[in-house]
Amino acid sequence: MKHLLFICSLMLACLAAAQDQPVQLVYPWVSHNAQFTSTLFITNHAERPASLVMIATRGDGTPFTAQHEIPARGFLKRPITELFPSLDEGSGLAVQVRAESDQITGRWLTFNRQTGSSGSPAQGVAIKPLSRNHPAVGQMMTLDTVGSDAEFTSALVFLNLGEQETRVTLTFADENGDFLETFAPIEVALKPYIPVAQPVTELIGGDLGDLSVHAVSEGQPFTTVHFMFNSAAEPAMASGSTIYPDVRDVQPTPTSFTFSFDKGDHGFVHGFADYPADNTEVFEFKGGLENLPTPYSGQGYLISARNASDDLFMYLKRRIDGLVPGARYDVAIEADFLSNAGTGCAGIGGAPGESVTVKFGAVNREPVALRGPDAFVTMGIDKGNQTQDGSEMKAVGDVATDADCSGSVFGEKSLTLASHQVEADAWGRIWVIVGTDSGFEGTTDLYYRAIEVSLNPLR
């Protein structure tokens, strides 16, 4: 029993550590069963060692976790069973590699254990989901000729790389360009980082010869891998190719969004940075929808923490879709919130109101908090420090209100970022982020009630 508890504790510790690091590499489908198995390669191109947290997830959601370190300029080559010693035979897995360094690359081999032709390996390239305009990541993907006859058969793997569930719809076409009907079985919810695999013959209900495949997601980025097997069940594999929207004749138009937290979180998520990852308990992190304090009614998005590092950053972020890929926008952000910090009040290290700087920004990649080699968590975007602007976030004020200095009364405040330029990514997306950079060494409680975002195209 003690041994089992230790293993469970270690797994939870690995998963907790992984949340502080971004997903740098993804292996969409690696195998370990009676017929197929895989070997993974990871190369560290940096001048310092790379600490990795690896999470392998089966289609049923079962996770396996491991931690490894690669020397500076070194590489790791391990069978999947050595990377994850507790892994048993079963269905395929998607493997996430989370690390503080983005200077890692990877490949993997999958081979038939039952053949004698040097293991009959097939090679795949690991996906870097944070890379801009990755050729194998998108919302519209194509898979060139897939087989469904006696000579060559194919299986397709789909992996959701987004933050929310999505659905993927497949359309098949023959060599004359004639489309078959869209097959409902693949139109299922894909949870983030949980792989789904389907043999082509099961999707189309039989042998219809060679086909091309067009895959469309409802909104989240995904990747896909095509396995092709010959009559001896020896595998070959290839990644799908993204289809960027054709925007040559599409003109960006002004658009705006109002997110009232009385009606839900609208896809916003919270996070924290500028703190030591190995001592989080003293910060008393808290975030999520909560009822507003008296005398206010309804609910807001509460974010709260105790600034034990004298430099704590806490934030809300959300992705905005549907923009014109590559278009430049002038972004304005307004946030309405409640704060229990009065004006002119004394505090530890700084005032509870004036020493907590509010910053707004917009970027074309996801803002993430990164755990560094010194176990200190910082933002992966340029937010500036304390009262200073960054290139990607601007200071717009502080959290001081007309509340008294007791901390038991909340006052209203609204702040605005009038102008901030950003270029939408290749899928027409940006991320907005609102946050506070604290020099007050105490607890800050904020209830965000609403956030408004306006985007005007720049000619």
Q: Please tell me the distance from the alpha carbon of residue 120 to that of residue 118, in angstroms, as a whole number.
A: 5
Q: Please name which of 368, 344, 341 lies closest in space to residue 356, comparing C-alpha atoms.
A: 341
**382 and 272 belong to one structural domain:** yes
Residue pair 297/422 in contact by the 8 Å Cβ criterion: no
Q: Please tell me the distance from the alpha carbon of residue 301 to that of residue 296, in angstroms, as a whole number.
A: 13
**140 and 100 belong to one structural domain:** no
**151 and 234 belong to one structural domain:** yes
- What integer pLDDT is reported at residue 212 of this predicted model? 82
Does residue 334 form part of some domain?
yes
Q: Is 8 helix (H, G, I), strand (E, B) or coil?
A: helix
**Where a domain ends, among 131, 160, 186?**
131
For residue 100, give its domain range.
Answer: 21-131
Does residue 124 form part of some domain?
yes
Does residue 197 form part of some domain?
yes
- What integer pLDDT is reported at residue 361 of this predicted model? 96
- What integer pLDDT is reported at residue 3 of this predicted model? 42
**300 and 235 belong to one structural domain:** no
What is the tally of structural domains in the chain? Answer: 3
What residues pair up with 30 in beta bridges, in sequence order?
93
Take residue 239 and report the two structure tokens written for it.
Answer: 């990644």
Q: Is 351 helix (H, G, I), strand (E, B) or coil?
A: coil
**367 and 437 belong to one structural domain:** yes
User: Residue 422 is which amino acid?
Assistant: V
**Where a domain ends, among 131, 148, 182?**
131
**25 and 147 belong to one structural domain:** no
Take residue 3 and report the two structure tokens written for it.
Answer: 């041994």
**211 and 116 belong to one structural domain:** no
**156 and 114 belong to one structural domain:** no
The DSSP secondary structure of 9-41, one letter per residue, reads HHHHHHHHHHTTS-EEEEEEEEEESSSEEEEEE
Q: How many CA atoms lie within 13 A of 7 on its CB side?
A: 10
> What is the bridge-based pairing of β-strands 104-112 and 36-44?
antiparallel
Torsion angle defined by CA atoms of residues 127, 131, 132 and 134, in that order, rounded to the nearest 10 degrees: -20
**215 and 261 belong to one structural domain:** no
**Site of tokens 């560094």:** 372
**182 and 226 belong to one structural domain:** yes
CATH number of 238's domain:
2.60.290.11
Does residue 11 form part of some domain?
no
Q: Please tell me the distance from the alpha carbon of residue 255 to that of residue 266, in angstroms, as a whole number.
A: 17
- pLDDT mean for each 10 residues of the chain (459 residues): 41 47 91 92 93 93 93 94 93 92 91 70 89 81 72 86 84 73 57 89 71 82 88 85 73 92 92 89 93 95 91 93 89 97 88 94 89 84 92 96 91 96 87 94 94 93
Instruction: Measure the CA angle with vertex 134, ends 128 and 136; round to 5°.
Output: 90
Take residue 11 and report the two structure tokens written for it.
Answer: 């797994």
Does residue 175 form part of some domain?
yes
User: Residue 5 is which amino acid?
Assistant: L
The sign one gets for the Cα dihedral 414, 305, 264, 160 is positive
Does residue 15 form part of some domain?
no
**96 and 176 belong to one structural domain:** no
The conformation of residue 188, written as its DSSP 8-state character, comes to S
**Where a domain ends, among 85, 100, 131?**
131
Residues ≥6 apart with Cβ < 8 Å to 52: 42, 67, 68, 69, 70, 97, 98, 99, 104
- What integer pLDDT is reported at residue 5 of this predicted model? 39
- What integer pLDDT is reported at residue 133 of this predicted model? 72
Does residue 70 form part of some domain?
yes
Does residue 7 form part of some domain?
no
**193 and 326 belong to one structural domain:** no
pTM of the model: 0.63
Q: Please tell me the distance from the alpha carbon of residue 188 to that of residue 199, in angstroms, as a whole number.
A: 15
The conformation of residue 262, written as its DSSP 8-state character, comes to G
